[in-house]
Amino acid sequence: MTRKQKRATIIAIGMCFLAVAAALTFFALGQQTSYFYMPADVIAKPVAPGQRIRLGGLVEKGSIERMDGTHVKFAVTDGEHTVKVGYEGILPDLFREEQGVVTEGTFGPDGLFVADSVLAKHDENYMPREVADGLKEKGVWQESEGGSKNGG
Partner 1 sequence: MAVELGHFALVLALALSIVQATVPLVGARVKSYQLMRVGETVAIAGFLLILVSFTTLVHGYIVSDFSILNVWENSHSAKPMLFKITGTWGNHEGSMLLWVMILAFFAAMVAVFGRNLPPSLRANVIAVQGMVAVAFLLFILFTSNPFTRIIPAPIEGKDLNPLLQDIGLAIHPPLLYLGYVGFSISFSFAVAALIEGRIDAAWARWVRPWTLLAWAFLTGGIAMGSYWAYYELGWGGFWFWDPVENASFLPWLAGTALLHSAIVMEKRSALKIWTVLLAILTFSLSLMGTFLVRSGVLTSVHAFATDPARGVFILIILLLFIGGSLALFGLRASSLTSGGLFHPISREGALVLNNLILSTCTATVLIGTLYPLLIEALTGEKISVGAPFFNLTFIPLVVPLLLAVPFGPLLAWKRGDLLGAAQRLQFAFGAVLVVMIGTYFFSDKTSTAAALGLGLGFWLIFGALTDIAFKAGVGKNSLSVVFSRLKGLPLSVFGTAFAHAGIGLTVIGLVSVTTLQIERIVLMKPNDVVEAGGYTLKFSGVTPFKGPNFTEDQARFDLTGPDGRRLGEIAAAKRLYPARGMPTTEAGIRTFGLSQLYVSIGEATPNGLVVHAWWKPRVTLIWIGALVMMFGGGLSLCDRRLRVGAPTRRKTAVEAEA
Note the residues at the interface with partner 1 (CB under 8 A): 3, 6, 9-10, 13-14, 17-18, 20-21, 24-25, 27-29, 31-36, 54, 66, 68-70, 88-91, 93-94, 104, 122-124, 126, 128-130, 133, 148-150, 152
Shorter beta-carbon distance to partner 1: residue 31 or 142: 31
Report the nearest approach of partner 1 to the CB of residue 14 (Å).
5
Q: Which amino acid is at 46?
A: P
Class of residue 132 by CB neighbours under 10 A (exposed 0-12, middle 13-18, buried 19+): middle
DSSP 107-128: E-TTS-EEEEEEE--SSTT---
Is 37 annotated in a binding site? The answer is: no
By three-state DSSP, how is residue 59 classified? strand
Least distance in angstroms from the C-beta of 17 to partner 1: 6
Q: CA 6, CA 18: separation in Å to the nearest integer?
A: 18
Closer of 44 and 90 to partner 1 (Cβ): 90
Helix (H) or strand (E) holding 88: strand 82-88
Cross-strand bridge partners of residue 84: 75
Cβ nearer to partner 1, comparing 23 with 80: 23
Minimum distance, C-beta of residue 56 to partner 1, in the bound complex (Å)? 9
Terminus-to-terminus CA distance in the chain, angstroms?
77
Q: Which CB sits closer to partner 1, 17 or 61? A: 17
**Per the annotation, does 35 bind a ligand?**
no
> What type of residue is 79?
G
CB of 84 to partner 1, least distance (A): 19
Binding residues for heme: 122, 126
Binding residues: 122, 126
